[in-house]
Amino acid sequence: PRRMSRKILVLPGDGIGPEITREAVKVLEACQERGLDVTVDEALVGGAAYDAHGEPLPETTLAKAKASDAILLGAVGGPKWDKIEDLAKRPEKGLLGLRKHLGLFGNLRPAILYPQLAEASSLKPEVVSGLDIMIVRELTGGIYFGQPRGIEERNGQRVGFNTYIYSEAEIERIGRVAFEMARKRNKKLCSVDKANVLEVTILWREIMERLAPEYPDVELSHMYVDNAAMQLVRAPKQFDVIVTGNMFGDILSDAAAMLTGSIGMLPSASLNESGQGMYEPCHGSAPDIAGQNLANPLATILSVAMMLRYSLDEPELAERIEGAVGKVLDDGLRTADIAYPGTRRVSTSEMGDAVLAAFRHV
Ligand code: NAI
Ligand code: MG
């Protein structure tokens, strides 16, 4: 029987979301020209969905998301919706709802410094040039979700509390994602914890050690999170893959992203146990430049490359997209966020078109 074509759902979202996903979809269509057998559908999420249906994650969107093999998301949120009093209706809840309902526990956040953009980093070129690290962050557990939590009165004063909890199974499944990732890359995995202070991470370290013999080709090391923050700034190229929990990963991945100095360049993936994934740029909806054809679409285009690699098993097409992005950077094309004197300023759509042309010719 003929294999069913795979389903991709595009969720443009808010702010610059529609502009950047439009460019990414052009590249996806170029992949279809090259034989990629997918159907592409679109739905509302975030503020756009709230405006149309009163919900940031309507049932129809969730149903389409569940039925898809991969999701491409722009970004959600913006000042227009900051006044919504019911927190459950805020645009961000659309994103959190998708992560939760789809069980997207494995967040992959590369920090890559393109050699053409070395000047964008705040660090010295010799410290960051050629940087290519991958942070694997657990996304559906840890202190962000642990119960009990709250603010309550105890002995005449209010206390705030959260629960930091990970089960063996949760640690093991994110550990496996990270070991597999290291295996495909430079075979070095650094597990980041706070095992000198927090019991949860003593267990975390133990489980990583237990997995290690199954991946004898991968060299496992451990680092305390405070030192990891220091090392990321001091000598980031010592890392290949970093694996850590939800909160440490949130902080370290933003720090690592900024080493590259270019928020408009960084894609991300969030995967579940069946390989289904949601792909999105690391940045937000950039309301300050929305609707002006100024945004950098490359993070979203590179998110399509991650989708092809991690959910659709099409590594050649992924490389072709990454090659096309390298080509337009080589040619000196720059959106405002990555421009500097001597380069050619282009709009969102011009950048998308240039990648498309390069994709067809590389
Ligand atoms: P942001 O990432 O949207 O913007 C930060 C700065 O970077 C702005 O100056 C913006 O113009 C610039 N920027 C971001 N992406 C760019 C791109 N592709 N090209 C050129 N410049 C770009 O973060 P901010 O301002 O903190 O948040 C704005 C809104 O986005 C908020 O409502 C926030 O909640 C939401 N947000 C959504 C996320 C998501 O959907 N995953 C993630 C982060 C924020
Ligand atoms: Mg963050």
Would you state the pLDDT for residue 3?
A: 64
CB atoms within 10 A of CB 141: 21
* pLDDT at site 342: 85
DSSP tag of 105: -
CA distance 123 to 233: 8
Domain ranges of the chain: 1-105+273-362, 106-271
Q: Report the alpha-carbon distance of residue 231 to residue 185 in Å, rounded.
A: 20
User: From the CA of 76, which ligand is nearest?
Assistant: 1
Q: What span, in angstroms and rounded, lies between the C-alpha atoms of 203 and 222?
A: 13
Report the distance separating Cα 245 and Cα 241, nearest Å.
Answer: 14
Question: Does residue 320 have a known ligand-binding role?
Answer: no
The kind and range of the H/E element at 225 are helix 225-234
Helix (H) or strand (E) holding 12: strand 6-13
Tell me the CA–centroid distance for residue 31 and ligand 2, in Å: 31
Q: Enter the DSSP assignment of 241.
A: E
Residue 148 alpha carbon to ligand 1 centre in Å: 31
Tokens of 294: 């100024």
pLDDT score for 4: 77
pLDDT of amino acid 236 = 97
226 annotated ligand-binding residue? yes
pLDDT reported for residue 2: 54
DSSP state for residue 5 in the 8-state scheme: P
CA distance 6 to 103: 19
- Report which residue type is found at 100: K
Q: Is residue 287 annotated as involved in ligand binding?
A: yes
Pocket test for ligand 1, best of 81, 84, 250, 263 (most atoms within 8 A of CB): 263
Does domain 1-105+273-362 fall under CATH 3.40.718.10? My reply is yes
Q: Strand pairing of 150-154 and 188-193?
A: unpaired
Residues 6+ away with beta carbon under 8 Å from 73: 11, 13, 17, 21, 45, 95, 98, 278, 279, 280
What is the Cα–Cα distance from 262 to 335, expressed in whole angstroms? 11
CB neighbour class for 160 (10 Å; exposed up to 12, middle 13-18, buried from 19) = exposed
Say whether 130 sits in a helix, a strand or coil.
coil
Write out the catalytic residue numbers.
144, 194, 226, 250, 254
Is CATH 3.40.718.10 the classification given to domain 106-271? yes
Asked whether 289 and 348 are in contact (CB, 8 A), the reply is no
pTM: 0.93
DSSP H helices, 57-149, are 59-67, 91-102, 125-128
Q: Is the CB of 137 under 6 A from ligand 1?
A: no
**Ligand 2 centre and the CA of 1: distance in Å?**
44
Q: Give the closest ligand to the alpha carbon of residue 78.
A: 1
Q: Whose CA is nearest to atom 36 of ligand 1?
A: 284
Return per-residue pLDDT of the chain as tens, 362 residues.
Answer: 456 799 999 999 999 999 999 999 999 999 999 999 999 999 999 999 999 999 999 999 999 999 999 999 999 999 999 999 998 999 999 999 999 999 999 999 999 998 888 887 889 988 998 899 999 999 999 999 999 999 999 999 999 999 999 999 999 999 999 999 999 999 999 999 999 999 999 999 999 999 999 999 999 999 999 999 999 999 999 999 999 999 999 999 999 988 888 889 999 999 999 989 999 999 999 999 999 999 999 999 999 999 999 999 999 999 999 999 999 999 999 999 998 888 999 999 999 999 999 999 97
Is there a shared CATH topology between the 1-105+273-362 domain and the 106-271 domain? yes
What pLDDT score was predicted for residue 111? 94
Angle at 219 between CA 214 and CA 220, to 5 degrees: 80
